[in-house]
Chains A and B, each alone.
Chain A
Amino acid sequence: MISNDVEIHRMQRAFRTVMNAFAQPGTIAELRDDAVDAAGARDPLMTLVRLFVDQAVTFYCCDDALAERIAVETKARRASQSEALFVVVPAAASACEAGVGEASAGTLVSPEKGATVFVECGRVSATPDEGLAGFEVQGPGVRDVNRFWTDSDEWERVREGRCDEYPLGIEMILVDGEGRLAAVPRSSSVTRMEGGR
């Protein structure tokens, strides 16, 4: 009596990965079998889009070609950076120019209207490495402190610069081309580690 579709199971696995990432902010999870683009390359950013974005929501993406692709594929409506429920930041764009600073923080009556931001990174890592910036995460979901590293610290500077007052704020998912991701909900406090480690 069940119709089994490969895509349904793929999306379910991706969701659990993301859900666990949000339940344990600052830990690294991995999208194992994410989407592939037209050329057959892996496209974890697009997996996140497909997981959450559809005709019932709005999104903003500073890259016009990608925005067009998302609109066609998901039937979601494009909205301004300050109104969109989802903000998609491709690796080529900087978080500043991609509208993360202006993204909606929700309202006190409806904090859930704060945006969810997908940031594509060059690399997201559970261990320190040359050229990576390190972050310490504390808050709900974290026992003591969780640490992770990304190739750029721009997302954190933009997040910090927003000065959101909890429970207002944005959710961020940082994802790299290999499908490694870390979630940073608004309830997390993030500090940059000195010297990257």
Chain B
Amino acid sequence: MGYVAVRGGGRAIEESLRLFELERASSGASVALDRVQACFPDAIDQVMGESSLYAPRLAALAFKQARGSVEEAVFLLRAFRSTLERTSETCVVDMEDMQVKRRISAAFKDVPGGQVLGATRDYSHRLIDFSLADETDGDVRDAAARLRKHFAEAPDDARFDGHLPKVLDYLRDQGLIPSCENDDTPPADVTMASLEFPCVRSARLQTLARGMTQAVEAFGYAAIRGYGPAHPTVGELRSGTVELCVAADASDDADPLDAFYLGDMRVCEVESVFEVESDAADASGAGLSFDIGYGLVMGDTETKAVAMSVLDHCLELGDPRYPTQDEEFVLYHVDGVEAQGFISHLKLPHYVTFQSKLDTVRTARERQAHAASV
């Protein structure tokens, strides 16, 4: 066994990168960013969400450069984000003002405003669509025209203007969810200062929202399966676009009507309802009431939003028996870039540390051998 640092690293890296580029180029095909954006919107959403950077075109470029690896695309975009100065902050968005494309409630069949199933693959059969194999751009355009015509012929009462009241306001009005004051404390930003424990809720929500999608889902799953609280009910899931504005001047009393409109962003918001024991002093006197878990993610990553709402509630409870309720366990480990980096660093040389360990193990063995022989 030899433990010596590999020399000639510079050339090795250069050649390795060439080989890697050859693998990419060997496909003999390239894809335009417009196509990436048009064909893989869900991947773009996930990349932007985990990167905490709304930049569809850059996300598409990162996705292309990463050869379709979401993890790698997030890595690229996050690193790019480190070079950007924060010039201003957007005004607070009221989710009730969302231009809703889809809104469902698992709690109430007849919610005010109704259930809006919208576009979802929830009730599709996951059968591979072999017709897509030979699909052309023309086919796609034809399909679009056909479907537009279909929806244009829909009866008027099937249309809605995209504005819906919030489902949970209904429960609040009935006194089933304790109403609370707005907390106008400026939110923490975990990309500007490191996490401090116990966490403020804004830091927790932000960490979950930018967490690795599959990790948030896995922890959320663990929580509802048995390593956490009871089964939640999705009070409301709403998905659509919200307007983002920047105040004309930074003072607190700036007129919101003077704000500059930046654009729309697609988001998905989930409010889950959990049954909890309430204080006996509650006006109703009943021992049970409801608590809310909150999820909000960029784009249309619905499962992540639901899982986030579960974890938000878990972390609010903070029962040390469950890892899903341990802030440090959940928040430190949902970050994709950190997980990917530290796991892959194990591939780096550790010659010096291993030499040091060898020395320690040998000395300890010698001591023991010596002790045994005496």
Direct A–B touching, Cβ under 8 Å: yes
Main secondary structure of the interface of A (DSSP, over half): loop
Give 5 CB contacts A-B under 8 Å: A55-B86, A56-B192, A56-B193, A75-B250, A110-B196
Q: How close is B251's CB to chain A, nearest CB, in angstroms?
A: 11
Complex: how many Å from CA A110 to CA B195?
13
Complex: how many Å from CA A6 to CA B250?
29
A interface residue numbers (CB < 8 A to B): 55-56, 75, 110
Q: How close is A90's CB to chain B, nearest CB, in angstroms?
A: 25
Within 8 A of A (CB), among B243-270: 250
* Closest partner residue, chain B, to A77 (CB atom): B186
Q: How close is A30's CB to chain B, nearest CB, in angstroms?
A: 29
* Closest partner residue, chain A, to B192 (CB atom): A56
Within 8 A of A (CB), among B164-200: 192-193, 196
Chain B residues with CB under 8 A of A75: 250
Within 8 A of A (CB), among B61-98: 86
Chain A residues with CB under 8 A of B86: 55
Complex: how many Å from CA A52 to CA B7?
41
**Most chain B C-beta atoms within 10 Å of own C-beta, residue among A55, A75, A110:** A55
* Closest partner residue, chain A, to B86 (CB atom): A55
Q: How close is A89's CB to chain B, nearest CB, in angstroms?
A: 26
Complex: how many Å from CA A75 to CA B250?
9
Q: How close is A57's CB to chain B, nearest CB, in angstroms?
A: 10
Chain A residues with CB under 8 A of B193: 56
Complex: how many Å from CA A169 to CA B245?
41
Complex: how many Å from CA A75 to CA B192?
15
Complex: how many Å from CA A68 to CA B337?
40
Complex: how many Å from CA A55 to CA B193?
12
* Closest partner residue, chain A, to B186 (CB atom): A77
Chain B residues with CB under 8 A of A55: 86
Complex: how many Å from CA A75 to CA B86?
11
Q: How close is A114's CB to chain B, nearest CB, in angstroms?
A: 16
Complex: how many Å from CA A88 to CA B193?
23
* Closest partner residue, chain B, to A3 (CB atom): B83
Chain A residues with CB under 8 A of B196: 110
Complex: how many Å from CA A47 to CA B86?
21
Complex: how many Å from CA A155 to CA B369?
63
Complex: how many Å from CA A55 to CA B196?
20
Q: How close is B100's CB to chain A, nearest CB, in angstroms?
A: 34
Complex: how many Å from CA A26 to CA B333?
43
Complex: how many Å from CA A30 to CA B86?
31
Complex: how many Å from CA A55 to CA B86?
9
* Closest partner residue, chain A, to B196 (CB atom): A110
* Closest partner residue, chain B, to A75 (CB atom): B250
* Closest partner residue, chain B, to A109 (CB atom): B196
* Closest partner residue, chain B, to A110 (CB atom): B196
Complex: how many Å from CA A92 to CA B119?
67
Chain B residues with CB under 8 A of A56: 192-193
* Closest partner residue, chain B, to A56 (CB atom): B192
Q: How close is B81's CB to chain A, nearest CB, in angstroms?
A: 16
Complex: how many Å from CA A122 to CA B86?
36
Within 8 A of A (CB), among B41-58: none
Chain B residues with CB under 8 A of A110: 196
* Closest partner residue, chain B, to A55 (CB atom): B86
